A and B are shown apart, each in its own frame.
Chain A
Amino acid sequence: MQFAWSYKTNYLNAVCNIFHQEGSWAEVVSGFEYDKAIDNGVAGSKIIFNGPNKSEEDLKKAIKNDSLIHIDHLEELYSLIFLAEELKKRPKVAIRVNMDTGIYPMWDRFGFNYENGQAWDALNKIMISKKLDLVGLHCHIGTFMLSPNAYAIAAFKLTDLAINIEKKYSHYIKYIDLGGGFASKNTLKGSFLPGIDTNPSIDEYAEVISSALINSALNPEHLPTLILESGRALIDDAGYLLGSVIANKRLSAGKRATILDFGVNLLFTSFWYEHKITPAQEFTHYSEDTVLYGPLCMNIDVIRENINLPLLNKGDQVVAHCVGAYNVTQWMQFITLRPKIVLIDLDEKVHIIKDNETNQTMVSLEKLPEHLKKIDLK
């Protein structure tokens, strides 16, 4: 069993290195993330390179570093065969397989389909080319998966491909990578009950995956390593966003509205989660249904459409919970600057791991044409 830290979930170097210290490899989906992993000191052979957009330069780098390249489409497969000849080196590859696991919507835009034979076709192309070293099979069946059984179906389908490769080519697959998508304790919008009460635990996922692999037809003497690309399930619950109340107002229909100093610019995940928000100081036991707005001058800037909160006053502080995943990688620099991020270690010592942005941070890459440098505003 091997974990690979999903960089796109949270690629603050301090966070990545916590997981690398714990033994996680790196799972990256772009050249930018690949270079970040290398800069963090991850050996090339412990970087899994996913994603549909790997440039020729990215692929060359990954081949030279013995990284595990997960092929997304035939263009990439043919590029790798070409580059293998050019570099006189056998790239270590897996294919990404998409499949029906009973989940809607089915993710079929990444990789090769299992049911219609695309995946088996791609595997044959790899084996027959003799230019590529087929080391693994990969899938990533969806995101925030609330049905653990889908992973059992995925494991069954990948092992079926591995067994067929073994039968036809006497070639053993070294690893099966079931990707990520495990749910955190957040609550998806539209859920009837809070995620903390209903989302599957890690134990439930582990049970179905290990049972599916043990009960498969795989030869126990040649069991592949199981790789998981967990991101959200490991970091979401560890992140908190601290903010404060700017103002209260009544909407036209009488509903209470509270404006906070953080919005969808910082809490991107509020587009799909009902984040738990709690006051950070003593509060009255009288509460009221409230809509929480962010500070942006945009109508879509809504943190919670409806939340029962004690009556907060201007300046009161609030905490948004479970914000560790997909916010510091997807947040927006829109009309304001992003705040610093601190890490609290096991000894409760506080470390700044990202500083406040400044105006200079934002304009440092801008260039002003000569004729626009002097303005004469009368």
Chain B
Amino acid sequence: MKIKKNIAISDSGFIFNPSTGESFTVNPIGVEIITLLKEDKVKEDIKKQILDKYQTEDIVFEKDYYDFVGMLNHYHLAETNEEEES
């Protein structure tokens, strides 16, 4: 999955979607994951990076990543397949 190109993210976790005017806040891990997604990293790369850096388990990452990505999709912050293809 990819974050839409026009989404602005600050280091403090403030996210702004200029096409809708909506803003969101995420915690520091959220900033890290969004930044990696913006760098077009795939899930396996992100997982390796997070597991190397933090004392956590595979299953915990899976659950939280799935939940987080679900929220990004829900709030239309991720590119849909059609947008990715075009």
A51 to chain B, nearest CB (A): 51
Write the nearest CB–CB distance from B52 to chain A, whole angstroms: 21
Find out whether the CB atom of A250 lies under 8 angstroms from the CB atom of B70: yes
Contacts of A286 in B (CB 8 A): 27
B67 interface hit (Cβ, 8 Å): yes
A117 within 8 A of B: no
In the bound complex, do residue B27 and residue A254 qualify as a contact, i.e. CB atoms below 8 Å apart? Answer: no
Task: Give chain B nearest CB distance to A310 CB in angstroms.
Answer: 11
Q: Which of B53-86 contact A (CB under 8 A)?
A: 67, 70-71, 74-75
| Contact size range, A | under 10
Note all chain A residues with C-beta closer than 8 A to B67: 248, 250
The main secondary structure of chain B at its interface with chain A is helix
Report the minimum CB–CB distance from B30 to chain A (whole Å): 9
Closest-CB distance, A245 to chain B (whole angstroms): 13
Chain A residues near B27: list those with CB within 8 A: 286
Q: Roughly how many angstroms separate A286 CA and B68 CA in the complex, as a whole number?
A: 14
Which B residues touch A250, using CB under 8 A? 67, 70-71, 74
Q: Please give the distance in Å from B25's CB to the nearest CB on chain A.
A: 10
Alpha-carbon gap, A254 to B27, bound state (A): 17
Which residues of A lie under 8 Å from residue B75 when comparing CB positions? Answer: 254
Per the bound structure, the CA–CA distance linking A250 and B70 in Å amounts to 9
B-contact bits for A192-232, CB 8 A (1 contact / 0 none): 00000000000000000000000000000000000000000
- Assembly CA distance A248 to B67 (angstroms): 10
User: Could you tell me the distance between the alpha carbons of A286 and B67 in the complex, rounded to whole angstroms?
Assistant: 15
Interface flags for A249-293 (1: CB within 8 Å of B; 0: not) read 010001000000000000000000000000000000010000000
Distance in angstroms between the alpha carbons of A286 and B71 in the assembled complex: 16
Closest to B74 in A: A254
**Whole-angstrom CA separation of A286 from B27 in the bound complex:** 7
- A286 and B70 alpha carbons, distance in the complex (Å): 18
Docked Cα-Cα span, A286 to B28, in Å, equals 10
- Closest B residue by C-beta to A254: B74
CA distance A286 to B74 in the complex (A): 20
Q: Tell me the nearest residue of chain B to A247, going by C-beta.
A: B63
Q: Which 8 A-B pairs give the minimum distances between C-beta atoms?
A: A254-B74, A286-B27, A250-B70, A254-B71, A250-B67, A254-B75, A250-B71, A248-B67
Q: Can you name 10 A-B pairs with beta carbons within 8 Å?
A: A248-B67, A250-B67, A250-B70, A250-B71, A250-B74, A254-B70, A254-B71, A254-B74, A254-B75, A286-B27
